[in-house]
Amino acid sequence: MLRPVVISSQDGAYFLFGGEKMKEQLISISAAAKTAVEACENEAQIEEVRVKYLGKKGELTAILKQMGGLSPEERPIMGQLVNQAKQELEALITDKKEILKQAARDEKLKAETIDITMPAKELKVGKLHPLNTVLDDMINIFQSMGFDVVDGPEVETDYYNFECLNVPADHPARDMQDTFYLADNILLRTQTSAAQIRTMENLKPPIRVICPGRVFRADEVDATHSPVFHQIEGLVVDKGVTMCDLKGVLEQFAHEIYGKDTKVKFRPSFFPFTEPSVEVDVTCSECAGKGCRVCKGSGWIEILGAGMVHPNVLRSCGIDPEEYSGFAFGIGLDRLTTTRYKISDIRLLFENDKRFLDQF
């Protein structure tokens, strides 16, 4: 490719000789470089080769430095040849680098192969306590009927827990055996009904609230009794509220929680703060009313107490019973939970045994 250079003087012979020699050198360096590139096995090696031939002190770069010894005619031709050789080598190195990179990647992937048949580690996710699951359902149902959720204190005064609720001083519920007294007039609330009074003191009718919470009674502990349990108090006060509204709301509630086919029975009962008062039973969800172990053969399960708010109670909260009327109910959350999940012992709800809780 090197064109014959015109020899114009004795110097010319030297230049031609110089050019030929450089050309040979270039060819042999290029060949050696190509062999070296081909022999590379990893990226570090190829980088070494690149520095050796193309680096600042590399062999091809060194040739360029000898160009000063060439004739002006030879110089551009030689320069072109060296550059061409450099470009070829650069391209070769880039290609080889890519091949080696790909090979390294394949190798790595092969080494990291995931065994998808291996069983995964079980991830433990926290869950709601069954009482909370049922409570959330109940709150949803009542909120959809327009009820607000309110809260009340667990440590109550005698006034809110009994007196204001029309419970006379000699009522058995006030007996020392049923109530945990903390001091003379301070006690652990025995019913969420105390929240009725606090609500009526703070809100003006129309009132539509539920108050879920813990209640306490000095009961002997067994499979169906616990000194701590849960109620959801409901209270509605407005003009013209009747027993029909009470029945409608509670029937709707029972159907939502137990299903449309559930029958609801209102039994006359007595509570000092409601008149008339009822207790509400629903057909046993386990046997659909036929009678089984869960309902103790009766086919019915009692789920709540309710009634029309007693005029004395309205009056003591500053609400005129001639103008307003209302109903209240108190649902037992624990019974609802044990029947829904077929839990045979109420104590399981409070012991927090992980083996029990993990089943929900």
State the residues that interact with ligand PHE by CB under 6 A.
191, 193, 271, 274, 305-307, 328-330
Q: Which residue, 15 or 216, has its beta carbon nearer to ligand PHE?
A: 216
Q: Which residue, 250 or 306, has its beta carbon nearer to ligand PHE?
A: 306
Burial 184-222 (b: 16+ CB within 10 A, else e): eeebbbbbbbbbbbbbbeebebebbbbbbbebbbeeeee
| In the complex, least distance from residue 141 CB atom to ligand PHE, rounded to whole angstroms | 17
Q: Which residue, 225 or 342, has its beta carbon nearer to ligand PHE?
A: 225
| In the complex, least distance from residue 124 CB atom to ligand PHE, rounded to whole angstroms | 37
Q: Which residue has the tokens 């650069």?
A: 90
| In the complex, least distance from residue 307 CB atom to ligand PHE, rounded to whole angstroms | 5
Q: Which residue, 201 or 351, has its beta carbon nearer to ligand PHE?
A: 201
User: Which DSSP state fits 220?
Assistant: P
Q: Which residue, 295 or 331, has its beta carbon nearer to ligand PHE?
A: 331
Measured on CA atoms in the order 4, 7, 13, 18, is the torsion positive or negative?
negative
* DSSP E strand boundaries for the chain: 148-149, 155-157, 186-188, 207-216, 228-238, 264-271, 274-283, 300-309, 325-332
| In the complex, least distance from residue 205 CB atom to ligand PHE, rounded to whole angstroms | 17
Inter-CA distances, 101 with 34, 43, 96, 316, Å: 19, 7, 8, 87
Host H or E run for residue 198: helix 194-202
Q: Hey, what are 230's tokens?
A: 């849960």
| In the complex, least distance from residue 255 CB atom to ligand PHE, rounded to whole angstroms | 20
Question: Which residues, in sequence order, are bridge partners of residue 186?
Answer: 157
Q: Residue 227, preceding bond cis, omega within 30 degrees?
A: no
Q: Which residue, 253 or 271, has its beta carbon nearer to ligand PHE?
A: 271
The half-sphere exposure of 338 on its side-chain side, counting CA atoms within 13 A, is 23
Q: Which residue, 195 or 257, has its beta carbon nearer to ligand PHE?
A: 195
Q: Which residue, 90 or 163, has its beta carbon nearer to ligand PHE?
A: 163
| In the complex, least distance from residue 174 CB atom to ligand PHE, rounded to whole angstroms | 13
C-beta separation of 292 from 284 below 8 A: yes
| In the complex, least distance from residue 279 CB atom to ligand PHE, rounded to whole angstroms | 8
| In the complex, least distance from residue 182 CB atom to ligand PHE, rounded to whole angstroms | 19
C-beta separation of 152 from 195 below 8 A: yes
Q: Which residue, 85 or 306, has its beta carbon nearer to ligand PHE?
A: 306
Q: How far apart are CA 276 and CA 265, in angstroms?
A: 15
Q: How far apart are CA 334 and CA 192, in angstroms?
A: 14
| In the complex, least distance from residue 317 CB atom to ligand PHE, rounded to whole angstroms | 14
* C-beta nearest to ligand PHE: residue: 330
C-beta separation of 22 from 5 below 8 A: no
